[in-house]
Amino acid sequence: MKKIHESEIVQKSIDGRVGSVDVYDVIDENIQAGVRIVKRNSDVPARTHRHPERQLLYVLEGTAEITNGKETFSLKPGDFVLIESNEEHYVKTGDSEAKLFEIKYP
């Protein structure tokens, strides 16, 4: 067993088309898991964005929108989003940032 506080994780920043997202990965192996803080007024990540892993997002704080180009969902705390393998997707925030928990898995 191991306990890790997010303040102990080395933060990475990913630039978007506009703004950025701070990435705190607690697991970065076959499965990737961690917290994403999407800065306010951001459109992230840079285009084109897709990956072979499936992805689960859970909104912890704030609000955002996510789109795959065909559907757009408004997100609030308590919402889950399931993204399929190789499905293009982007997150947008307004005047406040959004804190998300993310898992990428095969």
- CATH number of the domain residue 82 falls in: 2.60.120.10
pTM confidence score:
0.93
Walk along the chain (106 residues) and give the pLDDT tens digit of each residue: 999 988 899 999 999 999 999 999 999 889 999 999 999 999 999 888 999 999 999 999 999 999 999 999 999 999 999 999 999 999 999 999 999 999 999 9
Q: How many domains does the chain have?
A: 1
Q: Which range of residues forms the domain containing residue 71?
A: 31-105
In a domain, 18, yes or no: no
Contacting residues for 24 by C-beta, under 8 A, at least 6 apart: 6, 9, 11, 34, 35, 36, 37
Q: Tell me, what's the pLDDT at 37? A: 97
Q: Residue written as tokens 């898995």?
A: 105
In a domain, 21, yes or no: no
In a domain, 13, yes or no: no
Beta carbons of 54 and 105 less than 8 angstroms apart: yes
In a domain, 60, yes or no: yes
In a domain, 84, yes or no: yes
